[in-house]
Structure 1
Amino acid sequence: MPGATAFPGPIGNAVEIATERYAAILGASPSKGARSPVLWNAAFKAAGIDAVMHPMDVTAGDLPALVAVLKADPRFVGGAVAVPHKQALVPLLDRVEPEAARIGAVNAIYRDGGALVGANTDGAGALSQIEELVGGGHALRTRRALVLGLGGAGLAVAAFLAGRVTELTVANRTRATAETVAGRLGAMVADWPVGADVLSKIDLLVNATTIGHAAGPEGSPVAEADLAALPASAAVYDVIYQPDVTPLLAMASARGLATRNGLGMNLDQAVIAFGKAVPGALEMDAVRAAMRAA
Protein backbone atom coordinates (compact mmCIF):
# COMPACT_ATOMS: atom_id res chain seq x y z
CA MET A 1 0.00 0.00 0.00
CA PRO A 2 1.75 3.24 -1.13
CA GLY A 3 2.47 5.60 1.72
CA ALA A 4 1.48 3.09 4.36
CA THR A 5 3.57 2.53 7.48
CA ALA A 6 3.50 -0.55 9.66
CA PHE A 7 2.00 0.16 13.04
CA PRO A 8 4.83 0.06 15.61
CA GLY A 9 2.81 -1.01 18.63
CA PRO A 10 2.74 -4.48 20.20
CA ILE A 11 -0.31 -6.07 18.54
CA GLY A 12 -1.00 -9.55 17.26
CA ASN A 13 -2.39 -8.67 13.82
CA ALA A 14 -0.87 -6.76 10.92
CA VAL A 15 -1.89 -3.09 10.70
CA GLU A 16 -0.65 -0.43 8.31
CA ILE A 17 -1.48 3.24 8.74
CA ALA A 18 -2.08 4.99 5.41
CA THR A 19 -4.36 7.86 6.41
CA GLU A 20 -3.93 11.28 8.01
CA ARG A 21 -5.71 10.07 11.14
CA TYR A 22 -6.85 6.72 12.47
CA ALA A 23 -8.93 5.08 15.18
CA ALA A 24 -8.63 1.64 16.74
CA ILE A 25 -10.62 -0.98 18.57
CA LEU A 26 -8.55 -2.68 21.26
CA GLY A 27 -9.41 -6.18 22.38
CA ALA A 28 -8.26 -9.78 22.55
CA SER A 29 -9.18 -10.48 18.92
CA PRO A 30 -11.24 -7.71 17.25
CA SER A 31 -9.59 -8.58 13.93
CA LYS A 32 -11.78 -11.70 13.87
CA GLY A 33 -15.04 -9.89 13.18
CA ALA A 34 -15.59 -6.83 15.38
CA ARG A 35 -18.28 -4.61 13.85
CA SER A 36 -16.95 -1.27 15.14
CA PRO A 37 -14.50 -0.74 12.22
CA VAL A 38 -17.35 -1.15 9.72
CA LEU A 39 -19.45 1.43 11.57
CA TRP A 40 -16.69 3.96 12.19
CA ASN A 41 -15.31 3.71 8.66
CA ALA A 42 -18.75 4.44 7.23
CA ALA A 43 -18.97 7.53 9.42
CA PHE A 44 -15.46 8.67 8.47
CA LYS A 45 -16.42 8.36 4.80
CA ALA A 46 -19.68 10.28 5.28
CA ALA A 47 -17.80 13.05 7.10
CA GLY A 48 -15.10 13.26 4.43
CA ILE A 49 -12.39 12.48 7.00
CA ASP A 50 -9.20 10.75 5.84
CA ALA A 51 -9.20 8.15 8.61
CA VAL A 52 -9.72 4.43 9.18
CA MET A 53 -10.51 2.41 12.29
CA HIS A 54 -8.19 -0.57 12.68
CA PRO A 55 -8.80 -3.65 14.83
CA MET A 56 -5.84 -4.21 17.15
CA ASP A 57 -5.46 -7.59 18.85
CA VAL A 58 -3.58 -7.07 22.09
CA THR A 59 -2.87 -9.16 25.17
CA ALA A 60 -3.33 -7.85 28.69
CA GLY A 61 0.44 -7.84 29.14
CA ASP A 62 1.01 -5.71 26.04
CA LEU A 63 -1.87 -3.29 26.69
CA PRO A 64 0.18 -0.66 28.61
CA ALA A 65 2.80 -0.47 25.86
CA LEU A 66 0.12 -0.17 23.17
CA VAL A 67 -1.63 2.66 25.00
CA ALA A 68 1.69 4.50 25.28
CA VAL A 69 2.23 4.21 21.51
CA LEU A 70 -1.28 5.47 20.75
CA LYS A 71 -0.96 8.38 23.15
CA ALA A 72 2.31 9.46 21.55
CA ASP A 73 0.86 9.40 18.02
CA PRO A 74 -1.15 12.57 17.27
CA ARG A 75 -2.79 10.81 14.30
CA PHE A 76 -4.71 8.60 16.73
CA VAL A 77 -8.14 10.14 17.45
CA GLY A 78 -9.55 7.44 19.72
CA GLY A 79 -11.75 4.43 19.28
CA ALA A 80 -13.39 1.50 21.00
CA VAL A 81 -12.46 -1.02 23.69
CA ALA A 82 -13.56 -4.66 23.53
CA VAL A 83 -13.30 -7.59 25.94
CA PRO A 84 -11.32 -8.24 28.02
CA HIS A 85 -9.73 -4.79 28.40
CA LYS A 86 -12.64 -2.54 29.39
CA GLN A 87 -11.65 -2.47 33.04
CA ALA A 88 -7.91 -2.95 32.68
CA LEU A 89 -7.63 0.11 30.44
CA VAL A 90 -8.97 2.54 33.07
CA PRO A 91 -5.73 3.09 35.04
CA LEU A 92 -3.71 3.41 31.81
CA LEU A 93 -5.59 6.51 30.64
CA ASP A 94 -4.95 10.12 31.59
CA ARG A 95 -8.48 10.45 32.90
CA VAL A 96 -11.94 8.94 32.57
CA GLU A 97 -15.34 10.59 32.40
CA PRO A 98 -17.26 10.55 35.73
CA GLU A 99 -19.81 8.02 34.49
CA ALA A 100 -17.08 5.65 33.36
CA ALA A 101 -15.32 6.10 36.70
CA ARG A 102 -18.51 5.12 38.52
CA ILE A 103 -18.89 2.02 36.36
CA GLY A 104 -15.19 1.19 36.56
CA ALA A 105 -14.89 0.33 32.88
CA VAL A 106 -14.49 2.08 29.52
CA ASN A 107 -15.64 1.04 26.07
CA ALA A 108 -14.49 4.19 24.26
CA ILE A 109 -11.40 6.38 24.25
CA TYR A 110 -10.74 9.73 22.66
CA ARG A 111 -7.94 12.26 22.43
CA ASP A 112 -8.06 15.58 24.26
CA GLY A 113 -4.87 17.35 23.23
CA GLY A 114 -2.04 15.16 24.46
CA ALA A 115 -4.30 13.18 26.81
CA LEU A 116 -6.29 10.01 26.26
CA VAL A 117 -9.71 10.03 27.94
CA GLY A 118 -11.96 7.07 28.66
CA ALA A 119 -15.74 6.99 28.36
CA ASN A 120 -18.47 4.40 28.69
CA THR A 121 -21.22 4.48 26.07
CA ASP A 122 -22.34 0.86 26.49
CA GLY A 123 -24.90 1.65 29.18
CA ALA A 124 -26.59 4.46 27.27
CA GLY A 125 -26.75 2.37 24.12
CA ALA A 126 -28.22 -0.63 25.94
CA LEU A 127 -30.73 1.44 27.89
CA SER A 128 -32.36 2.89 24.77
CA GLN A 129 -32.69 -0.61 23.30
CA ILE A 130 -34.11 -2.13 26.49
CA GLU A 131 -36.64 0.67 26.86
CA GLU A 132 -37.86 0.02 23.31
CA LEU A 133 -38.04 -3.71 24.02
CA VAL A 134 -40.26 -3.34 27.09
CA GLY A 135 -42.39 -0.45 25.83
CA GLY A 136 -40.66 2.68 27.08
CA GLY A 137 -39.12 4.17 30.21
CA HIS A 138 -42.39 4.07 32.16
CA ALA A 139 -42.78 0.36 31.48
CA LEU A 140 -39.13 -0.24 32.43
CA ARG A 141 -39.76 1.23 35.88
CA THR A 142 -42.16 -1.61 36.64
CA ARG A 143 -39.69 -4.36 35.72
CA ARG A 144 -37.71 -6.68 37.97
CA ALA A 145 -34.39 -7.04 36.17
CA LEU A 146 -31.60 -9.61 36.35
CA VAL A 147 -28.21 -8.89 34.75
CA LEU A 148 -26.00 -11.90 34.07
CA GLY A 149 -22.27 -11.18 33.84
CA LEU A 150 -20.47 -8.15 35.24
CA GLY A 151 -17.62 -7.51 32.85
CA GLY A 152 -17.36 -4.13 31.17
CA ALA A 153 -20.70 -4.30 29.33
CA GLY A 154 -22.52 -5.92 32.24
CA LEU A 155 -21.32 -3.28 34.68
CA ALA A 156 -22.49 -0.53 32.35
CA VAL A 157 -25.90 -2.06 31.76
CA ALA A 158 -26.42 -2.73 35.46
CA ALA A 159 -25.40 0.83 36.35
CA PHE A 160 -27.87 2.30 33.87
CA LEU A 161 -30.70 0.01 34.99
CA ALA A 162 -30.13 0.78 38.68
CA GLY A 163 -32.80 3.26 39.77
CA ARG A 164 -34.71 2.79 36.52
CA VAL A 165 -36.24 -0.60 37.37
CA THR A 166 -38.32 -1.54 40.38
CA GLU A 167 -35.81 -4.19 41.42
CA LEU A 168 -32.32 -5.11 40.20
CA THR A 169 -30.50 -8.41 40.73
CA VAL A 170 -27.03 -9.26 39.46
CA ALA A 171 -25.25 -12.59 39.04
CA ASN A 172 -21.67 -13.37 38.11
CA ARG A 173 -19.45 -16.45 38.08
CA THR A 174 -17.30 -14.77 40.74
CA ARG A 175 -19.71 -13.99 43.55
CA ALA A 176 -17.39 -11.47 45.18
CA THR A 177 -17.63 -9.33 42.04
CA ALA A 178 -21.41 -9.51 42.12
CA GLU A 179 -21.48 -8.53 45.78
CA THR A 180 -19.24 -5.53 45.17
CA VAL A 181 -21.37 -4.32 42.26
CA ALA A 182 -24.60 -4.96 44.14
CA GLY A 183 -23.36 -2.93 47.09
CA ARG A 184 -22.45 -0.04 44.82
CA LEU A 185 -25.76 -0.07 42.91
CA GLY A 186 -28.20 -1.07 45.62
CA ALA A 187 -28.95 -4.40 43.90
CA MET A 188 -29.48 -7.95 45.09
CA VAL A 189 -27.19 -10.90 44.33
CA ALA A 190 -28.23 -14.26 42.85
CA ASP A 191 -26.16 -17.43 42.91
CA TRP A 192 -24.41 -18.54 39.71
CA PRO A 193 -25.75 -20.25 37.69
CA VAL A 194 -29.20 -18.81 38.21
CA GLY A 195 -32.03 -21.26 38.61
CA ALA A 196 -35.77 -21.37 38.22
CA ASP A 197 -36.37 -20.01 41.72
CA VAL A 198 -34.70 -16.72 40.75
CA LEU A 199 -36.04 -16.53 37.20
CA SER A 200 -39.66 -16.99 38.32
CA LYS A 201 -39.40 -13.60 40.03
CA ILE A 202 -37.78 -11.80 37.05
CA ASP A 203 -39.48 -10.11 34.08
CA LEU A 204 -36.42 -8.58 32.42
CA LEU A 205 -33.43 -10.85 31.80
CA VAL A 206 -30.22 -9.33 30.42
CA ASN A 207 -27.31 -11.50 29.30
CA ALA A 208 -24.01 -9.59 29.41
CA THR A 209 -21.76 -12.66 29.44
CA THR A 210 -19.84 -13.93 26.42
CA ILE A 211 -21.43 -17.36 26.67
CA GLY A 212 -23.85 -16.73 23.82
CA HIS A 213 -21.10 -16.85 21.21
CA ALA A 214 -21.14 -20.66 21.45
CA ALA A 215 -23.69 -22.81 19.64
CA GLY A 216 -26.07 -25.24 21.26
CA PRO A 217 -27.16 -25.51 24.90
CA GLU A 218 -23.69 -24.55 26.15
CA GLY A 219 -24.21 -21.19 24.41
CA SER A 220 -26.87 -20.12 26.91
CA PRO A 221 -26.09 -18.84 30.43
CA VAL A 222 -29.44 -20.25 31.52
CA ALA A 223 -30.62 -23.84 31.19
CA GLU A 224 -33.73 -24.30 29.03
CA ALA A 225 -35.63 -25.95 31.89
CA ASP A 226 -34.89 -23.00 34.16
CA LEU A 227 -35.74 -20.43 31.48
CA ALA A 228 -39.25 -21.88 31.44
CA ALA A 229 -39.75 -20.31 34.87
CA LEU A 230 -39.70 -16.78 33.43
CA PRO A 231 -43.18 -15.20 33.44
CA ALA A 232 -44.97 -15.00 30.08
CA SER A 233 -44.66 -11.21 30.25
CA ALA A 234 -40.85 -11.31 30.55
CA ALA A 235 -38.44 -9.75 28.05
CA VAL A 236 -34.97 -11.11 27.27
CA TYR A 237 -32.14 -8.89 26.07
CA ASP A 238 -28.75 -10.23 24.96
CA VAL A 239 -25.83 -7.82 24.43
CA ILE A 240 -24.35 -10.31 21.93
CA TYR A 241 -25.11 -9.73 18.23
CA GLN A 242 -22.87 -12.38 16.65
CA PRO A 243 -24.75 -14.66 16.15
CA ASP A 244 -27.81 -12.45 15.75
CA VAL A 245 -29.96 -15.11 17.43
CA THR A 246 -28.09 -16.57 20.38
CA PRO A 247 -29.20 -19.87 21.97
CA LEU A 248 -30.72 -17.87 24.84
CA LEU A 249 -32.76 -15.69 22.48
CA ALA A 250 -33.82 -18.73 20.45
CA MET A 251 -35.16 -20.46 23.55
CA ALA A 252 -36.90 -17.29 24.74
CA SER A 253 -38.47 -16.67 21.32
CA ALA A 254 -39.73 -20.24 21.23
CA ARG A 255 -41.62 -19.46 24.42
CA GLY A 256 -43.13 -16.34 22.84
CA LEU A 257 -41.13 -13.91 24.98
CA ALA A 258 -40.09 -10.48 23.70
CA THR A 259 -36.42 -10.57 22.71
CA ARG A 260 -33.71 -8.35 21.26
CA ASN A 261 -30.01 -8.76 20.55
CA GLY A 262 -27.17 -6.28 21.01
CA LEU A 263 -26.90 -4.97 17.46
CA GLY A 264 -28.79 -1.75 18.21
CA MET A 265 -26.73 -1.22 21.36
CA ASN A 266 -23.58 -1.67 19.29
CA LEU A 267 -24.79 0.99 16.86
CA ASP A 268 -25.87 3.53 19.47
CA GLN A 269 -22.73 3.24 21.58
CA ALA A 270 -20.62 3.62 18.41
CA VAL A 271 -22.50 6.78 17.40
CA ILE A 272 -21.84 8.36 20.79
CA ALA A 273 -18.19 7.27 20.84
CA PHE A 274 -17.55 8.58 17.31
CA GLY A 275 -18.89 11.97 18.34
CA LYS A 276 -16.41 12.11 21.20
CA ALA A 277 -13.44 11.14 19.02
CA VAL A 278 -14.19 13.58 16.17
CA PRO A 279 -16.49 16.21 17.69
CA GLY A 280 -18.38 18.35 15.21
CA ALA A 281 -17.54 16.19 12.20
CA LEU A 282 -21.19 15.27 11.64
CA GLU A 283 -24.53 15.69 13.38
CA MET A 284 -25.34 12.60 15.44
CA ASP A 285 -28.31 11.73 13.22
CA ALA A 286 -26.01 11.74 10.20
CA VAL A 287 -23.50 9.52 12.01
CA ARG A 288 -26.29 7.10 12.93
CA ALA A 289 -27.61 7.04 9.35
CA ALA A 290 -24.14 6.34 7.94
CA MET A 291 -23.48 3.59 10.45
CA ARG A 292 -26.90 2.02 10.03
CA ALA A 293 -26.36 1.80 6.29
CA ALA A 294 -22.96 0.13 6.68
Structure 2
Amino acid sequence: MTIATTTSTPLLEVDDLCKSYAPKRGLIGSILARGSKPSNTLKNISFDLGKGEILGVVGESGSGKSTLGFTILGLIEASSGSVRFAGKSLPRDARELRTFRRSAQMIFQDPYQSLNPRFRIKDIVTEPLLVYGLIGNGEVTAAAEEVLDLVGLRPGKSYLERFPHELSGGQRQRVSIARAVVLKPKLLIADEPVSMLDVSIRAGILRLLRSLSASMEMSVVYISHDLSTVRYICDRVAVMYRGEIVEIGSTDQIIAYPVHPYTKRLLSAVPRISFAEKRQRVAQHA
Protein backbone atom coordinates (compact mmCIF):
# COMPACT_ATOMS: atom_id res chain seq x y z
CA MET A 1 0.00 0.00 0.00
CA THR A 2 1.32 3.47 -0.88
CA ILE A 3 0.98 5.81 2.08
CA ALA A 4 1.55 9.42 3.01
CA THR A 5 4.95 10.06 4.55
CA THR A 6 5.91 12.31 7.41
CA THR A 7 6.97 15.86 6.57
CA SER A 8 10.14 15.64 8.68
CA THR A 9 13.31 13.75 7.82
CA PRO A 10 12.47 10.07 8.41
CA LEU A 11 14.23 8.27 11.23
CA LEU A 12 12.59 4.98 10.28
CA GLU A 13 11.66 3.84 6.78
CA VAL A 14 9.69 0.63 6.30
CA ASP A 15 9.29 -0.41 2.67
CA ASP A 16 7.12 -3.22 1.33
CA LEU A 17 7.72 -5.34 4.45
CA CYS A 18 6.34 -8.88 4.39
CA LYS A 19 6.45 -11.77 6.84
CA SER A 20 5.14 -15.23 6.03
CA TYR A 21 5.11 -18.38 8.12
CA ALA A 22 5.21 -21.79 6.49
CA PRO A 23 2.55 -24.35 7.55
CA LYS A 24 3.53 -26.61 10.43
CA ARG A 25 5.37 -29.79 9.52
CA GLY A 26 5.74 -33.21 11.07
CA LEU A 27 3.50 -36.16 10.17
CA ILE A 28 0.20 -34.65 11.27
CA GLY A 29 1.21 -31.13 10.28
CA SER A 30 2.18 -32.22 6.78
CA ILE A 31 -1.19 -33.90 6.25
CA LEU A 32 -3.11 -30.89 7.55
CA ALA A 33 -0.95 -28.43 5.61
CA ARG A 34 -1.13 -30.31 2.30
CA GLY A 35 -2.00 -27.82 -0.41
CA SER A 36 -2.06 -24.87 1.97
CA LYS A 37 -0.13 -21.65 1.43
CA PRO A 38 2.18 -19.87 3.87
CA SER A 39 0.42 -17.64 6.38
CA ASN A 40 1.02 -13.96 5.58
CA THR A 41 1.30 -12.07 8.86
CA LEU A 42 2.62 -8.87 7.28
CA LYS A 43 1.67 -7.87 3.75
CA ASN A 44 3.54 -5.08 1.94
CA ILE A 45 3.82 -2.76 4.94
CA SER A 46 5.24 0.68 4.07
CA PHE A 47 5.52 3.84 6.15
CA ASP A 48 7.99 6.48 7.34
CA LEU A 49 8.46 7.72 10.91
CA GLY A 50 9.82 11.20 11.54
CA LYS A 51 12.20 12.22 14.31
CA GLY A 52 10.26 12.78 17.52
CA GLU A 53 7.01 11.60 15.94
CA ILE A 54 4.55 9.21 17.60
CA LEU A 55 2.86 6.83 15.19
CA GLY A 56 -0.04 4.76 16.46
CA VAL A 57 -0.45 1.29 14.95
CA VAL A 58 -3.94 0.08 15.74
CA GLY A 59 -5.83 -3.11 14.95
CA GLU A 60 -7.48 -6.14 16.49
CA SER A 61 -5.59 -9.10 17.93
CA GLY A 62 -3.94 -11.11 15.17
CA SER A 63 -3.68 -8.17 12.77
CA GLY A 64 0.13 -8.32 12.80
CA LYS A 65 0.86 -5.30 15.01
CA SER A 66 3.31 -6.99 17.41
CA THR A 67 4.97 -8.91 14.57
CA LEU A 68 5.59 -5.56 12.89
CA GLY A 69 7.26 -4.22 16.03
CA PHE A 70 9.47 -7.30 16.42
CA THR A 71 10.43 -7.18 12.75
CA ILE A 72 11.40 -3.52 12.91
CA LEU A 73 13.80 -4.32 15.75
CA GLY A 74 15.23 -7.35 13.96
CA LEU A 75 13.86 -9.78 16.57
CA ILE A 76 11.96 -11.48 13.73
CA GLU A 77 13.47 -11.76 10.25
CA ALA A 78 11.33 -10.35 7.46
CA SER A 79 10.45 -12.55 4.48
CA SER A 80 10.94 -9.61 2.12
CA GLY A 81 11.04 -5.82 2.08
CA SER A 82 13.33 -3.54 4.02
CA VAL A 83 13.72 -1.54 7.21
CA ARG A 84 15.99 1.50 7.25
CA PHE A 85 17.00 3.29 10.44
CA ALA A 86 18.72 6.69 10.23
CA GLY A 87 19.30 6.08 6.54
CA LYS A 88 20.89 2.64 6.98
CA SER A 89 19.41 -0.81 6.35
CA LEU A 90 18.64 -2.91 9.41
CA PRO A 91 21.89 -4.81 10.14
CA ARG A 92 22.09 -8.59 10.09
CA ASP A 93 25.45 -9.00 11.82
CA ALA A 94 25.09 -9.69 15.57
CA ARG A 95 27.58 -7.01 16.55
CA GLU A 96 25.93 -4.39 14.37
CA LEU A 97 22.50 -5.39 15.68
CA ARG A 98 23.78 -4.87 19.23
CA THR A 99 24.85 -1.34 18.29
CA PHE A 100 21.50 -0.68 16.60
CA ARG A 101 19.54 -1.80 19.65
CA ARG A 102 21.26 0.79 21.77
CA SER A 103 19.27 3.30 19.68
CA ALA A 104 16.05 1.26 19.45
CA GLN A 105 14.27 -0.15 22.48
CA MET A 106 10.94 -1.80 23.28
CA ILE A 107 8.32 -1.70 26.03
CA PHE A 108 6.20 -4.80 26.43
CA GLN A 109 2.55 -5.26 27.33
CA ASP A 110 2.96 -6.95 30.71
CA PRO A 111 5.55 -5.27 32.94
CA TYR A 112 5.39 -8.09 35.49
CA GLN A 113 6.45 -10.65 32.88
CA SER A 114 9.10 -8.44 31.29
CA LEU A 115 10.95 -7.54 34.51
CA ASN A 116 13.34 -10.00 36.14
CA PRO A 117 11.67 -10.87 39.48
CA ARG A 118 15.08 -11.61 41.08
CA PHE A 119 16.54 -8.19 40.27
CA ARG A 120 16.13 -5.11 42.42
CA ILE A 121 14.77 -2.05 40.65
CA LYS A 122 18.15 -0.29 40.62
CA ASP A 123 19.70 -3.29 38.84
CA ILE A 124 16.85 -3.56 36.32
CA VAL A 125 17.03 0.05 35.15
CA THR A 126 20.84 0.29 35.04
CA GLU A 127 21.60 -3.11 33.47
CA PRO A 128 21.60 -1.65 29.91
CA LEU A 129 24.14 0.98 30.97
CA LEU A 130 26.41 -1.70 32.43
CA VAL A 131 26.03 -3.97 29.40
CA TYR A 132 27.15 -1.19 27.08
CA GLY A 133 29.91 -0.08 29.44
CA LEU A 134 28.47 3.40 29.94
CA ILE A 135 28.79 3.41 33.76
CA GLY A 136 30.80 1.59 36.37
CA ASN A 137 29.46 -0.38 39.33
CA GLY A 138 30.03 2.60 41.61
CA GLU A 139 27.68 4.74 39.53
CA VAL A 140 24.66 2.44 39.62
CA THR A 141 22.80 4.14 42.47
CA ALA A 142 23.10 7.66 41.07
CA ALA A 143 22.14 6.52 37.55
CA ALA A 144 19.15 4.58 38.86
CA GLU A 145 17.86 7.55 40.88
CA GLU A 146 18.20 9.83 37.85
CA VAL A 147 16.23 7.64 35.44
CA LEU A 148 13.56 6.75 38.01
CA ASP A 149 13.03 10.45 38.64
CA LEU A 150 12.73 10.94 34.87
CA VAL A 151 9.79 8.52 34.67
CA GLY A 152 7.97 9.97 37.66
CA LEU A 153 9.05 7.58 40.42
CA ARG A 154 10.08 10.20 42.97
CA PRO A 155 12.08 10.12 45.13
CA GLY A 156 13.97 7.52 43.12
CA LYS A 157 15.99 6.32 46.10
CA SER A 158 12.88 4.92 47.79
CA TYR A 159 12.49 2.40 44.94
CA LEU A 160 16.10 1.29 44.50
CA GLU A 161 16.06 -1.79 46.73
CA ARG A 162 12.56 -2.99 45.92
CA PHE A 163 11.67 -5.95 43.73
CA PRO A 164 9.05 -5.83 40.94
CA HIS A 165 6.42 -7.67 42.98
CA GLU A 166 6.55 -4.89 45.58
CA LEU A 167 5.31 -2.30 43.09
CA SER A 168 1.91 -1.56 41.60
CA GLY A 169 1.18 -2.25 37.94
CA GLY A 170 1.62 1.40 36.99
CA GLN A 171 4.90 1.64 38.89
CA ARG A 172 6.19 -1.52 37.22
CA GLN A 173 5.39 -0.10 33.79
CA ARG A 174 7.27 3.08 34.69
CA VAL A 175 10.25 0.91 35.61
CA SER A 176 9.94 -0.81 32.22
CA ILE A 177 9.93 2.59 30.54
CA ALA A 178 12.94 3.67 32.61
CA ARG A 179 14.87 0.60 31.49
CA ALA A 180 13.97 1.31 27.87
CA VAL A 181 14.92 5.01 27.86
CA VAL A 182 18.02 4.87 30.06
CA LEU A 183 20.15 4.47 26.91
CA LYS A 184 18.47 7.55 25.39
CA PRO A 185 17.23 5.68 22.31
CA LYS A 186 16.03 7.42 19.17
CA LEU A 187 13.28 4.84 18.57
CA LEU A 188 10.88 3.24 21.02
CA ILE A 189 8.44 0.44 20.17
CA ALA A 190 5.63 0.48 22.75
CA ASP A 191 3.62 -2.74 22.42
CA GLU A 192 0.25 -2.34 24.17
CA PRO A 193 1.93 -0.51 27.11
CA VAL A 194 -1.28 0.36 28.99
CA SER A 195 -3.60 -2.53 28.16
CA MET A 196 -2.71 -4.41 31.38
CA LEU A 197 -3.16 -1.34 33.57
CA ASP A 198 -6.16 0.02 35.44
CA VAL A 199 -8.06 2.65 33.49
CA SER A 200 -7.42 5.21 36.22
CA ILE A 201 -3.63 5.18 35.70
CA ARG A 202 -3.43 4.80 31.92
CA ALA A 203 -3.52 8.54 31.28
CA GLY A 204 -0.42 9.07 33.41
CA ILE A 205 1.58 6.52 31.41
CA LEU A 206 0.39 7.98 28.10
CA ARG A 207 1.31 11.47 29.25
CA LEU A 208 4.76 10.21 30.30
CA LEU A 209 5.41 8.63 26.91
CA ARG A 210 4.47 11.80 25.09
CA SER A 211 6.60 13.92 27.43
CA LEU A 212 9.64 11.66 26.95
CA SER A 213 9.17 11.65 23.19
CA ALA A 214 9.22 15.46 23.16
CA SER A 215 12.06 16.01 25.63
CA MET A 216 14.33 13.30 24.18
CA GLU A 217 13.34 13.82 20.53
CA MET A 218 12.48 10.12 20.54
CA SER A 219 10.28 8.57 17.86
CA VAL A 220 7.64 6.13 19.09
CA VAL A 221 5.70 3.35 17.38
CA TYR A 222 2.74 2.98 19.72
CA ILE A 223 0.97 -0.37 19.19
CA SER A 224 -2.57 -0.84 20.47
CA HIS A 225 -5.93 -2.42 19.74
CA ASP A 226 -7.68 0.54 21.34
CA LEU A 227 -8.24 3.75 19.37
CA SER A 228 -9.36 5.52 22.54
CA THR A 229 -5.74 5.46 23.79
CA VAL A 230 -4.09 5.87 20.39
CA ARG A 231 -5.97 9.11 19.81
CA TYR A 232 -4.60 10.52 23.09
CA ILE A 233 -0.94 10.87 22.14
CA CYS A 234 -0.28 9.95 18.51
CA ASP A 235 0.59 12.39 15.74
CA ARG A 236 -0.44 9.89 13.07
CA VAL A 237 -2.33 6.62 13.03
CA ALA A 238 -1.87 3.53 10.86
CA VAL A 239 -4.78 1.08 10.90
CA MET A 240 -3.84 -2.59 10.41
CA TYR A 241 -6.24 -5.27 9.26
CA ARG A 242 -5.23 -8.85 8.47
CA GLY A 243 -1.57 -7.98 8.11
CA GLU A 244 -2.01 -4.87 5.97
CA ILE A 245 -2.09 -1.15 6.60
CA VAL A 246 -5.52 -0.24 5.25
CA GLU A 247 -5.46 3.42 6.23
CA ILE A 248 -2.90 5.93 7.51
CA GLY A 249 -2.98 9.64 8.20
CA SER A 250 -2.90 12.30 10.87
CA THR A 251 -4.77 11.43 14.04
CA ASP A 252 -7.25 14.25 13.46
CA GLN A 253 -7.88 13.05 9.91
CA ILE A 254 -8.39 9.40 10.81
CA ILE A 255 -10.68 10.22 13.73
CA ALA A 256 -12.79 12.78 11.87
CA TYR A 257 -12.81 11.32 8.36
CA PRO A 258 -12.23 7.55 8.41
CA VAL A 259 -12.34 5.95 4.97
CA HIS A 260 -11.92 2.21 5.39
CA PRO A 261 -14.89 0.23 6.79
CA TYR A 262 -12.64 -1.43 9.38
CA THR A 263 -11.51 1.96 10.71
CA LYS A 264 -15.13 3.05 10.97
CA ARG A 265 -15.91 -0.11 12.92
CA LEU A 266 -13.06 0.56 15.36
CA LEU A 267 -14.21 4.12 15.88
CA SER A 268 -17.79 3.03 16.50
CA ALA A 269 -16.58 1.22 19.62
CA VAL A 270 -14.91 4.33 21.08
CA PRO A 271 -16.94 6.40 23.57
CA ARG A 272 -18.13 9.63 21.94
CA ILE A 273 -15.91 12.13 23.71
CA SER A 274 -14.32 14.86 21.63
CA PHE A 275 -10.70 14.45 20.59
CA ALA A 276 -9.77 17.82 22.17
CA GLU A 277 -11.40 16.79 25.46
CA LYS A 278 -9.44 13.55 25.54
CA ARG A 279 -6.16 15.42 24.98
CA GLN A 280 -7.09 17.75 27.83
CA ARG A 281 -7.78 14.85 30.17
CA VAL A 282 -4.32 13.41 29.55
CA ALA A 283 -2.73 16.79 30.32
CA GLN A 284 -4.57 16.92 33.65
CA HIS A 285 -3.40 13.49 34.88
CA ALA A 286 0.06 12.74 36.21
TM-score of the superposition, structure 2-length normalised?
0.29
TM-score of the superposition, structure 1-length normalised?
0.28
Q: Higher relative contact order by CA 8 Å / sep ≥ 6: 1 or 2?
A: 2
